[in-house]
Amino acid sequence: MKILVIGGGGREHALVWKLKNGDAAREIFCAPGNPGIAEIAECVPLQVKQIIELADFAEDNKIDLSVVGPEDPLTDGIVDLFEKRNLPVFGPNRQSALLEGSKAYAKKVMERFNVPTAEYCEFDDFEKALAYVKTQGVPIVIKADGLAAGKGVTVAETLAEAETALRSIMVQKVFGESGTKVVIEECLRGEEMTVLAFVDGKTVLPMVPSQDHKPVFDSDRGPNTGGMGAYSPVPQLEKWLPEINERVLRPVAEGLAEEGTPFSGILYAGLMITENGPKVIEFNVRFGDPEAQVILPRLENDLAEIFLAVTEKRLHEVKLRWQSGASVCVIAAAPGYPGPPTKGLPITLPEVHLAGTQIFHAGTAIQNEQLVTSGGRVFGISAQGTDIAEARKHAYSLLEKVQFNGKHFRRDIAAKALS
């Protein structure tokens, strides 16, 4: 197959890497890609929001399957456009992508299908939102309704923090139109876990779970990021997987299908395992980043064959196979992240000799033949091992050899599993 992967971050590098390691992908293109992806696929100078030009490329180059990595083109309706032009594409359509594109919409879906989640209210007026927060008290969770690159959530421990978050989202518009509305939730306490599933409208195939680390500093301190690292499996929480499948993943997929809006693609459930069991924090509609960087190395199936089965509505024929052992990914971030990162810093990369280790490029570029930083999260350093301790040791060992000024990373990725 000729495959086009749309996106240019660490998730897309992991997708291209996994597709490359399978037998079905004969030729792989990536738009726009990045310097790491360019080593294993042909990069195309098109941005993810150029959906008409991407469809033209897929048509002109007789692409057998396009795979949409990030959320922005999905909520822009890229799948609807491709399907209208009879171009095979993996991912949810615009309506289904609202599960991630609008937190208020996702909450209504959860209400309809009795999915366990936090109590909430939504507001489009700053003063009313602030009054509600003062009535409810803290801690409380403030969420921009729309897409915010993983940074639109504040867990406010004080009223001052809550007011600052509301003001920045609704008045200062730091996330643009994504902050026209906010969702305010009760603060759930517990341990987080992510469970992703392949869905073809009817069949739901859950993947192995993972745990992301959102706050920028060790011990879950500091502002939220797009994710500072992940690991899989999550042994301390996996007893909850059957309940998550029966009360979260299947009700949403089956309920949407019954309503005539079947979901196709990746259904991502971000969960808090509370003292009362699992509750959904958020839904996403694509592979997580950095969750993909720990899940895909454990997958034994040919990823292209799974994607094809989803698009052809025959996912029931697939049986997922997983490597035993564990996988850990640690993010190397540029100084300044999650605020404006320092770009253009020269990078020195080691040779990767150890089997079961990967350096996934996320925010890199080439300037004057030199690899440099070009984003907040620069690399995802992934490693596999017989257990979490071994995978973690290999990941941090490789990370130490990745050099650029001001390199920031958390030192406690996967520590919860070991404790």
Tokens standing for residue 168: 């920045």
Shared-domain flag, residues 303 and 200 = yes
d(CA 330, CA 53): 34
Selection from 265, 147, 247, 143 nearest residue 196 by Cα: 265
Q: For residue range 329-341, what is the model confidence (pLDDT) as tens digits?
A: 999 999 999 999 9
308 plus 353 within the same structural domain: no
Q: Is 261 exposed, middle or buried (0-12, 13-18, 19+ CB in 10 A)?
A: middle
353 lies in some domain:
yes
Residue carrying the six token digits 């996934």: 360
24-45 tens-digit pLDDT: 999 999 999 999 999 999 999 9
CATH of the domain at 400: 3.90.600.10
Residues 244 and 353 in one domain: no
Here the contacts of 348-355 (C-beta below 8 Å, separation 24 or greater) are 348/402, 348/403, 348/404, 349/401, 349/402, 349/403, 350/398, 350/401, 350/402, 352/398, 354/383, 354/394, 354/398
Q: By C-alpha distance, which of 4, 103, 90 is closest to 44? A: 4
The predicted-structure confidence for 173-232, as pLDDT tens digits, reads as follows: 999 999 999 999 999 999 999 999 999 999 999 999 999 999 999 999 998 899 999 999
> What's the pLDDT band for 352 if we cut at 50, 70, 90?
confident
- Looking at 186, 208, 239, the residue that finishes a domain is 186
Residues 169 and 51 in one domain: no
CB 379 within 8 A of CB 364: yes
What string of DSSP letters covers 282-305?
EEESS--TTTHHHHGGGB-S-HHH
Q: What is the pLDDT of residue 150?
A: 73
Domain count, the chain: 4
Q: In 3D, which of 347, 358, 345, 323 has the Cα closest to residue 37?
A: 358
If asked whether residues 331 and 354 sit together in one domain, one would say yes
Give the confidence band of 297 by pLDDT, cuts at 50, 70, 90: very high
Question: Is 144 inside a domain boundary?
Answer: yes
Pair 305, 332 in one domain = no
Residues 242 and 312 both lie in one domain: yes
Q: Which residues contact 258 (CB under 8 A, 6 or more apart)?
A: none
Helix (H) or strand (E) holding 14, with range, is helix 10-20
- Residue 272 covered by a domain: yes
Q: Which residues pair with 3 in a beta bridge?
A: 28, 65
Report the CATH number at residue 246.
Answer: 3.30.470.20
As a dihedral over the C-alpha atoms of residue 361, residue 367, residue 372, residue 376, rounded to 10 degrees, the angle is -70
CATH number at residue 173: 3.30.1490.20
Percent of the chain with pLDDT over 90: 96
303 shares a domain with 216: yes
Residues 37 and 155 in one domain: no
Distances (CA, A) of 213 to 194, 203, 220: 11, 29, 7
The domain in which residue 84 lies consists of 2-91
Question: Which tokens go with 3?
Answer: 């495959």
* Cα 187 from Cα 381, distance rounded (Å): 31
331 in a structural domain? yes
Mean pLDDT of 40-65: 98
Residues 334 and 414 in one domain: yes
* Residue 100 maps to a domain: no
Same domain? 260 vs 208: yes
- Same domain, residue pair 343 and 374: yes
| Residue 164: inside a domain | yes
pLDDT (tens digit per residue) in 128-187: 999 999 999 999 999 999 998 777 899 999 999 999 999 999 999 999 999 999 999 999
Residue 320 confidence (pLDDT) above 80: yes
Instruction: Identify the domain boundary among 317, 352, 381.
Output: 317
Q: Is residue 282 part of a domain?
A: yes
Token pair belonging to 363: 């925010």
Cα 309–293–50 angle (5° rounding)?
A: 65
Q: Which of 171, 186, 201 is the last residue of a domain?
A: 186
Whether residue 266 is predicted with pLDDT greater than 80 in this model: the reply is yes
- Chain centroid to CA 206: 15
